[in-house]
Structure 1
């Protein structure tokens, strides 16, 4: 009986994790509902359990709320809509696009635009939709992540695991997130508004809060390639 109970408990625990992973999505519309600071601290503490080479823990987080979030949102949005880009400090996307990556990018982009009513060729509507990144999609908590400039690629791999752990923990807590590479498009503004030193690079941002069920963009469920498409099994 004891073995059966243990097995049932393991299965239940696995299903909790499965639901959190499968339920995680990039939410692009949040309710005007605050998130307690204690919850944010708990989520960050859980994320910090992510592995890192030699336990160096390369992540640095800036939690932005209230008036500080409003100031950051205004500054980022003004630059975006004025068409005043800054030089990114690292390349997020490939410099030369090719299949299958370009195909996947186009597909999810058009799926999002269809849901949000952005017609093909409507550059003004596209600019508005992209601009929602800079208000953190209305989330009550904006997170900005930085990394020491002298750290190498291995630390960026560690950072990805930290971010994923944070997002899965948030989903398990009934919250939603949207990781945002777009925030790194304006490192100068982020540095000025948050007092980030020049020895740190802006990795990305993240919106955190409660999903708005009435936001059309939140109906998007991006596709994933089947395991057989990206996996090679090596055996005898």
Structure 2
């Protein structure tokens, strides 16, 4: 089995590629899931630029299934409070989602998931078996990691999995666009797992399905939760070539 490697290692593999490709690879290697933000808001003009870039994302039949809700100012704090109250209630712990959760993680998928989890726990000083510590870290999702903005991504219900896939592609483009503007993000399934609360808070109609949320802002560079980077398997692990 091929071991995972640092994302920066992939830059060496495209060293002879055209400049635009190398710039894209560099940008992708620098993007990370930010788990601690400064409270300073991102200017509306910058957010609009990010959204304009992301709107160029590809979609099936150009359906553009996604819609985006963006919070700022007092609305972010109200949303943060609503999420924390929701997850603190007994029924909130049951995780209501518009899309089915993964049935299970097995094999390499489970290994990758565990590796990421232990990287985070080690970075923030949570010992193996410290359930209270891991629970506190999980709750940070609903605090939006202190971010000044939240985004909620929804997809058209009638488009089903195709709309969800297209929205996922949009999310990837959105996060890269943000990084290109010096803005950090983290995509959060945890927000979508409080779909009843999210739907009620934003008055989201039933023909929209909640795909995920994002916390958005300027990351605290020296925060322990932002000190590690996840790794990637080489393409030898993930690619199958067929020549005949």
Same-fold call, TM cutoff 0.5: yes
Count of aligned positions: 226
TM-score relative to the length of structure 2: 0.87
For the residues of structure 2 that align with 1:136 and 1:15, how far apart are their CA atoms?
32
Bigger drift between 70-79 and 84-93 goes to: 84-93
1:68 maps onto 2:75 in alignment: yes
Q: Does 1:81 align with 2:84?
A: no
Alignment of 1:27-38 (within 5 A): 27-38=34-45
Q: 1:59 aligns with which of 63, 66, 76?
A: 66
RMSD across aligned positions (CA)? 1.6
| Aligned with residue 91 of structure 1, among 100, 107, 115 | 100
Counterparts of residues 137-148 of structure 1 (less than 5 Å):
137-148=145-156
Q: For residue 201 of structure 1, give the secondary structure of its aligned residue in structure 2.
A: strand
- When residues 108 and 53 of structure 1 are mapped into structure 2, their CA distance, relative to the original with a 3 A threshold, is same
Give the secondary-structure state (helix, strand or coil) at the position aligned to 1:134. coil
Contact 1:73/1:135 (CA < 8 Å) preserved in 2?
yes
Question: How is 1:1-236 mapped onto 2 (pairs within 5 angstroms)?
Answer: 11-83=18-90, 84-85=92-93, 86-93=95-102, 95-236=103-244
Aligned with 2:199: secondary structure? helix
Q: Is 1:92–1:181's contact at 8 Å kept on the other side of the alignment?
A: no
Report the Cα distance in structure 1 between the residues aligned to 2:89 and 2:133, rounded to whole angstroms: 15
Cα offset, 1:152, TM superposition = 2.1
* Unmatched runs of 5 consecutive residues or more in structure 1: 1-9
- After superposition, give the CA deviation of every residue in 1:119-144 in whole Å (9 maximum; x if it has no partner): 22222211110111112111111101
Tell me the residue number matched to 2:9.
Answer: none
Quick one: distance in 1 between partners of 2:175 and 2:194?
23
CA contact (8 A) 2:156 2:163 kept: no
CA distance in 2, matches of 1:74, 1:199: 26
Deviations 1:28-51 (A, max 9, x none): 011122101111111111111111
Tell me which residue corresponds to 1:7: none
Q: Is the 8 A contact 1:20 1:169 kept in 2?
A: no
CA displacement at 1:79 relative to structure 2: 2.5
Specify every segment of 5 or more residues in structure 2 that has no aligned partner in the other structure, as ranges.
1-16
Deviation at 1:146, TM superposition (A): 0.9
C-alpha distance in 2, partners of 1:174/1:193?
Answer: 29
Counterpart-to-counterpart distance in 2, 1:96 and 1:161: 23
| Cα offset, 1:235, TM superposition | 2.2
